[in-house]
Amino acid sequence: MNHKELIADIAGKIDLTKTEVEHLLDIIVDVCCEQLEGRGSIGMQSFGVFDVKKREERLTVHPTTQKRMMIPPKLTVNFKQSSILKDKLKNVPS
């Protein structure tokens, strides 16, 4: 599902226009980004928790040239699914 499909789906389920839903979704994304930039976490009870983890510096080998190089440390977003979401996904046929 892409951005436009998500907006259309939400607008179809509630009494808002696509423009209003897009504006609301942009605000939600901005608030979430601000929280994660401050190294906080975002928890949604029936969905899961997003938080920021620091990946340490590590050594890697380029597969083609076999040259060793250091990858610098960086911050990444981590997601841990809730047990409710995990249970719902168990019932989905693969």
Q: What is the pLDDT of residue 94?
A: 76
Q: pLDDT at residue 93 above 90?
A: no
pLDDT level of residue 91 (50, 70, 90 thresholds) = confident
Other C-beta atoms lying within 10 Å of the C-beta of residue 65: 8
Beta strands, E only, 41-91: 41-44, 48-55, 58-61, 68-71, 74-81
Q: What is the pLDDT of residue 85?
A: 93
**pTM > 0.85:** no
Q: How far apart are CA 47 and CA 26, in angstroms?
A: 19
| pLDDT digit string, tens, across residues 31-47 | 999 999 999 999 999 99
What fold does the segment set 41-94 form as a domain? Answer: HU Protein; Chain A (4.10.520)
Name residue 51's beta-bridge partners.
41, 78
